[in-house]
Structure 1
Amino acid sequence: MHPVVFEFGYLTAESAAADESGFTLISKENFRYLESLCLTQQDTDVNQFLQLKTRYGCKVLQVKNYVGVIFTQYGEHIEVLPKIGKRASDKKQAITDARKTLLMMLKHLGSFRHISTNTASVETLQMPLLEIFIEEFLQSVNQLVKRGLRSDYVKREDNLAFQKGKLLVSKQVRHNVVSKHKFYVEYDEFLQDRPANRLLRAALKKVSGFTSRHKNQRLLRELDFAFDGIPPSTNPKDDFGRIKLDRGMSYYHSPLAWAKLILEGLSPLSMKGTAEAQSLLFPIEMVFENYVASVLGESLPEDSTLSTQVTSKYLTTHNGKNQFQLRPDLMITNSEQSSIVLDTKWKLIDLNAYHYGISQSDLYQMFAYGHNYLDGTGDLFLIYPAHEHFKTAVEHSFEFSESLRLWVVPFVLDLDGESRLIWPEGYKFRGVLN
């Protein structure tokens, strides 16, 4: 059974510490490997998602705000899940809820829009994330094979006993001075050995070293037979640049998207030690932001537009140059050119806590957005994930001035497909209505 930890949780190799403090137990070999990466690769990708600490006299590794899978050089992996599911009293249910929440959000994230798994499946939710992604890739390739691997004309050079194609005179002279009965020629051959198929074969070979699930291994063997005779790509970057999808090859898009993720990097991060270990990790803030943007974009009326990562304003001008770019996550503008600015924060705030647990730096940030993007007049929104202690919008706005207000609102991550933003009661804006 692979180890599972929630974001900002702790990993330990000491079984006593795991039992007493609730830390996640991993093998001593894996702990030493990850510890060595933290110590030897300062200011690198590793330190973005893993930190060596001491807790209760025990040496631990703390995962940060990244979710997904951490690989080790021993072929093992550690699953890191969103903290939103941690509050369930039953650990098994917490893991299931967190995994389902992450899969739901990843479906709206760039290249992972190709995820088609039915996340309500009990079998799927009991699978590690790594196996889920491998199964998605294999199923997409399997569907492609059923529709047929496409062939293309491939240029060949060979010294044949008969002439076909174009005679290469210089090579004919060089190779066949003695063997005058042979012909050194260049010709086109209609083969399945084309860049797209080579890339899929290479990706199949790569995931074969990751999966331990019997169903995936069986499908891999079947697909390997279907790709027999097609060499795996030895230069994926060049082959991706040479891909030419003819008319009627749209069914290649999804398998190739997965192949690109597998061959060129499954996530924004990679970690390299004495042996390379590829990560499958995502900054959860980015995942949440993209998901909120997708849901909001689908719910707005036609006369409103949603912009993401707006970058037109700066905090200051110095020596005639703009400096310190301001980049709110979201902006909604209606047909009358009125706008509201929204920013997402992946943090569990509490309506009963002091200042609701909102950080002062977040308020400063929103103040800057309001003055630069709304000219000091209008409404701003801070969006946090909803949970049992934050189910409704904060009743009153934070007033920066008489004309500039900040609202704090929850976003419901609904596992049944009803995710939504909870607007303040009675709040109206042309384009959105509570």
Structure 2
Amino acid sequence: MHTTVFEYGYLTCDKAACGDIHAKLISKAAFDYLKEVSLSADESDTNKYLSLTKRYGYELIQVKNYVGVLFSPTGEHIEVLPKTGRKSIDAEQAVLESREMLLMMLQHLGSFRYVASNQADLANKKMPLLEVFISQFLQSVNRLVKRGLKSDYVSQEDNLYFHKGKLKVSQQIRLNVVNKHKFYVEYDEYLIDRPANRLIKTALLKLVNYTRLATNQKLLRELQFAFSDVPSCLSVKQDINYLKLDRGMMDYHAPIAWAKLILDGFSPLSMKGKDNALSLLFPMESVFESYVASVLRNQLVDDVELTTQAASKYLVTHNKQRQFQLKPDLIITKPDRSMIVLDTKWKLLDLDKSHNDISQADLYQMFAYGHKYLEGKGEIFLIYPSHDTFDKPIEYSFDFSDSLKLWVIPFEVSTEKTHKLKINDSHALRKLMKN
């Protein structure tokens, strides 16, 4: 069973809530499992991705700002997608567009850089995220198989009727005192049994329990046959430690990156619960930050430096100890060593609200960045995703002082490679952009 919900949406096992609150229906078993996960989370954990709530008498589970796939022990998976902010499209189109947008943004996030760049066909097929990731792993393995699996010299020990390699004297004396026609030896054999192949084989076996798409199931069976002579990992951790991808193994990079994610529970974020079901969840704040940084790095002029997650400044010093580290998302350093501080926020601004819907906490945070990194002089930028009602910079700056100004600007998230910061000619950033 597959259910799709947008971030901050609701899940329920009560059909009545689907009409009254537009919650998405899941089975009671899945609801009870996710409820346990939510209640077992540490209350001090600011990154809780599920919360139990009640509205109009209905008990609900609200998903937070994490997107991806939630699994339950019942076999159900719940797809959580980011909101796009487009109000002019119908529900089905919104799902397709959001899924495609997320896949594009994930290309800029760590190991998921192997997500294929053209997702249009996948989106048109209405393929759920889980099947998209499985498909891309299988396709990368299929390309590897067509080009040929790599073998390697593997150390073997055996009691043979002929001598080869190195004689193991202690074992020879212990085992062959009577059988003097045999030799206990250690030798190297050129085999397909190597860590890289074992990891891929083990990941293929794991996917049997997850894919429901006929095309994925068919290709999975074919690839399992291709790896029939490769044993599974006895220890995944040990094989990862022994893994070596030399210059002649470029074709292995994508399959191994996917295999590691699959074997690590399929996720950068593990689910908590007694059944230990898998998850595939991404904090949208981190996804958006990585995406903006990657795009911006390619659009800045060559003589400036872009730093992510700078951490050289602290808010206070207490008893000669620095405390409360300040970590702006992005810092641009110009040739004269002056800086511009930028921070990303994954939030759809509502400009009709008072104070333009910018949180007071965010302003305090930017004030601290401006004084500690810029010594109270310069320009700092808050970056939010562009959407229907926020598609150009807020006209006037927020002035902390005559010398320290905050600008609020949108970033165009686009699957057509037109993604960019939307800035005015008056912004200091304008002179640092290539176009």
**TM-score normalised to the size of structure 1?**
0.95
Is the alpha carbon distance of 1:390 and 1:18 closer, same or farther for their aligned partners in structure 2, counting shifts above 3 Å? same
How far 1:349 sits from its partner (Å)? Answer: 0.9
Over the aligned positions, Cα root-mean-square deviation in angstroms equals 1.9
1:46 and 1:271 in contact (8 A); partners too:
no
Q: 1:348-384 CA deviation, whole Å, 9 max, x = no partner?
A: 1122221111111111111111111111110011111
Give the SS at the match of 2:32: helix
Q: Residue type of the partner of 1:100?
A: E
Q: Which residue of 1 aligns with 2:293?
A: 293
1:70 and 1:77 in contact (8 A); partners too:
yes
Single out whichever of 375-384 and 272-281 deviates more from structure 2: 272-281
User: Structure 1 residue 279 and structure 2 residue 279: aligned?
Assistant: yes
Q: Residue type of the partner of 1:403?
A: S
Distance in 2 (CA, whole Å) between partners of 1:414 and 1:205 is 36
Q: Which residue of 2 aligns with 1:59?
A: 59
How far 1:165 sits from its partner (Å)? Answer: 2.1
How far 1:282 sits from its partner (Å)? Answer: 0.5
How far 1:33 sits from its partner (Å)? Answer: 1.4
Distance in 2 (CA, whole Å) between partners of 1:331 and 1:244 is 35
Give the SS at the match of 1:381: strand
Distance in 1 (CA, whole Å) between partners of 2:289 and 2:123 is 28
Q: Residue type of the partner of 2:238?
A: D
Distance in 2 (CA, whole Å) between partners of 1:308 and 1:65 is 21
How far 1:234 sits from its partner (Å)? Answer: 1.9
* Structure 1, gaps ≥5 residues long: none
How far 1:64 sits from its partner (Å)? Answer: 0.8
Q: Residue type of the partner of 2:61?
A: L
1:82 and 1:98 in contact (8 A); partners too:
yes
Q: Which residue of 2 aligns with 1:5?
A: 5
1:155 and 1:186 in contact (8 A); partners too:
yes
Trace 1:231-246 onto structure 2 (pairs within 5 A): 231-246=231-246
User: Structure 1 residue 308 and structure 2 residue 291: aligned?
Assistant: no
Single out whichever of 243-252 and 319-328 deviates more from structure 2: 243-252
How far 1:76 sits from its partner (Å)? Answer: 1.8
Q: 1:21-68 CA deviation, whole Å, 9 max, x = no partner?
A: 100110111111111222345449897111111111011111111000
Distance in 2 (CA, whole Å) between partners of 1:138 and 1:40 is 35
Distance in 2 (CA, whole Å) between partners of 1:262 and 1:303 is 40
2:86 and 2:388 in contact (8 A); partners too:
no
Trace 1:4-403 onto structure 2 (pairs within 5 A): 4-43=4-43, 48-84=48-84, 87-121=87-121, 126-403=126-403
How far 1:86 sits from its partner (Å)? Answer: 6.7
Give the SS at the match of 1:368: helix
Q: Which residue of 2 aligns with 1:427?
A: 427
Distance in 1 (CA, whole Å) between partners of 2:73 and 2:205 is 18
Distance in 1 (CA, whole Å) between partners of 2:33 and 2:14 is 15
Is the alpha carbon distance of 1:280 and 1:85 closer, same or farther for their aligned partners in structure 2, counting shifts above 3 Å? farther
How far 1:260 sits from its partner (Å)? Answer: 1.2
Is the alpha carbon distance of 1:124 and 1:136 closer, same or farther for their aligned partners in structure 2, counting shifts above 3 Å? farther
Is the alpha carbon distance of 1:335 and 1:374 closer, same or farther for their aligned partners in structure 2, counting shifts above 3 Å? same
Is the alpha carbon distance of 1:207 and 1:421 closer, same or farther for their aligned partners in structure 2, counting shifts above 3 Å? same
Q: Residue type of the partner of 1:106?
A: L
How far 1:268 sits from its partner (Å)? Answer: 2.7
Distance in 2 (CA, whole Å) between partners of 1:156 and 1:301 is 55
Q: Residue type of the partner of 1:382?
A: L
Give the SS at the match of 1:154: strand
2:96 and 2:123 in contact (8 A); partners too:
no
Single out whichever of 252-261 and 241-250 deviates more from structure 2: 241-250
Distance in 2 (CA, whole Å) between partners of 1:159 and 1:216 is 43
Distance in 1 (CA, whole Å) between partners of 2:366 and 2:46 is 30
Q: Residue type of the partner of 1:412?
A: E
Q: 1:54-105 CA deviation, whole Å, 9 max, x = no partner?
A: 1110111111110000011122210000022574541101111111111111
Distance in 2 (CA, whole Å) between partners of 1:280 and 1:146 is 29
Single out whichever of 245-254 and 36-45 deviates more from structure 2: 36-45
1:12 and 1:59 in contact (8 A); partners too:
yes
1:100 and 1:125 in contact (8 A); partners too:
no
Single out whichever of 246-255 and 34-43 deviates more from structure 2: 34-43
Distance in 2 (CA, whole Å) between partners of 1:47 and 1:293 is 22
How far 1:266 sits from its partner (Å)? Answer: 3.2
Single out whichever of 328-337 and 290-299 deviates more from structure 2: 328-337
How far 1:162 sits from its partner (Å)? Answer: 2.7
Distance in 1 (CA, whole Å) between partners of 2:434 and 2:148 is 49
Q: 1:149-203 CA deviation, whole Å, 9 max, x = no partner?
A: 1111111112223332222232223223443433222221110001111111111
Give the SS at the match of 2:340: strand
How far 1:116 sits from its partner (Å)? Answer: 1.3
Aligned length: 434
* Structure 2, gaps ≥5 residues long: none
1:101 and 1:415 in contact (8 A); partners too:
yes
